Structure 1
């Protein structure tokens, strides 16, 4: 069994009263010249009350003698009907901070014990218009963590996936991320924007010696 075994069987319109996760919005606004216009977009129904974010993305780095490696995952995404290369991520629960959500999601999806995670950056306020800010208001914060591979509890990690989650976790040397993205794209994978942007940033820093 693998993500390649999943496939879309059909697509059909979704009625407003049946939608659990999203809703369509018609916004009326005035442009810079004062002209009234309308805009169609989508919103999540899941953002916790009092929270300013929907979820978190996690840049998890393994400290190894051979150099830093990034934790990535492959996951089938029905809207694209393709397997996507992603960073660990998830929605924020009610009452959770971004950091708490990141620790929980990382433990659930990859298995590291919570007390083995050391925060490099408490949180990097990086709001994303998840695929298209002109279409959806979804946002998140990127959390940067490092995992201590000298701790024996991190040697045999076991994820705690939910019943509907089929996630393949793997690691990759951070310095090879840009080249790997090109290879994955040729193989038919979709590169999540967070992974692609991180790879591009590393490559730009390398080329411009920043």
Structure 2
């Protein structure tokens, strides 16, 4: 069984009142010249009232003798009809910090237990289309601990996630290879890979 075994059966319009996770919004605003304009966009319905963010992305790093590796996932995404290469990620629950959500989601999706080192500023995924935002939480994983010897994900019944690791120094090349194989590269993974590549080229 693979994430690639998923198949779209049909696509059809969805009324806003029937949508559980998102809604369409028409915003009216004035531009710097005072002209009134409108903008169509989407909003999530799931952000907790006590949270400034919708979710977290997790930069989970495993230290190995050959160098640090990042934990990635293969997951089918119906909106694009492809298996995406992603970092572990998930929505924040009510009363939960970004860091707590990251540790929980990492354990649920990969089975690994990590320690948070830092978090990014609030970032917006696609601000021209939706208000969805997140923090990228950096987590280190100690493979010598008993809990990480035989990690077992705790996936929901509708989650089909394949976990794998890539050496950080090879992430850009791996993204290029995976795209040629037909995978979609999530922007968070691609941006991280490009940043590493630029740093290597410029010797920063």
State the TM-score bracket (shorter-chain normalisation): over 0.9
Uncovered stretches (5+) of structure 2, i.e. residues with no partner: none
SS of equivalent residue, structure 1 residue 133: coil
1:150 maps to which of 132, 144, 148 = 144
Q: Does 1:87 align with 2:97?
A: no
* Inter-partner Cα distance in structure 1 for 2:85 and 2:16: 31
- Counterparts in 2 of 1:74 and 1:6: CA distance versus 1, 3 Å: same
Q: What count of residue pairs does the alignment treat as equivalent?
A: 204
The structural deviation recorded for 1:126 is 4.1
The structural deviation recorded for 1:207 is 0.6
Q: Corresponding residue for 2:15?
A: 15
2:185 maps to which of 191, 197, 202 = 191
Q: Corresponding residue for 2:5?
A: 5
Runs (4+) of structure 1 exceeding 6 A deviation are none
TM-score relative to the length of structure 1:
0.95
* Inter-partner Cα distance in structure 2 for 1:50 and 1:154: 32
Q: Does 1:119 align with 2:116?
A: yes
Provide, for residues 63-120 of structure 1, a one-character-per-residue CA deviation record: whole Å limited to 9, x for no partner: 111111100000000001100000000000011000000010001001123xxx2222
SS of equivalent residue, structure 2 residue 115: strand
1:139 maps to which of 109, 117, 133 = 133
* Inter-partner Cα distance in structure 1 for 2:24 and 2:115: 39
Q: CA RMSD in A?
A: 0.9
Q: Corresponding residue for 1:54?
A: 54
* Inter-partner Cα distance in structure 2 for 1:126 and 1:192: 18
Provide, for residues 23-76 of structure 1, a one-character-per-residue CA deviation record: whole Å limited to 9, x for no partner: 000000000101011100000000000211000000000011111110000000
TM-score relative to the length of structure 2:
0.98
Q: Corresponding residue for 2:175?
A: 181
Q: Does 1:161 align with 2:158?
A: no
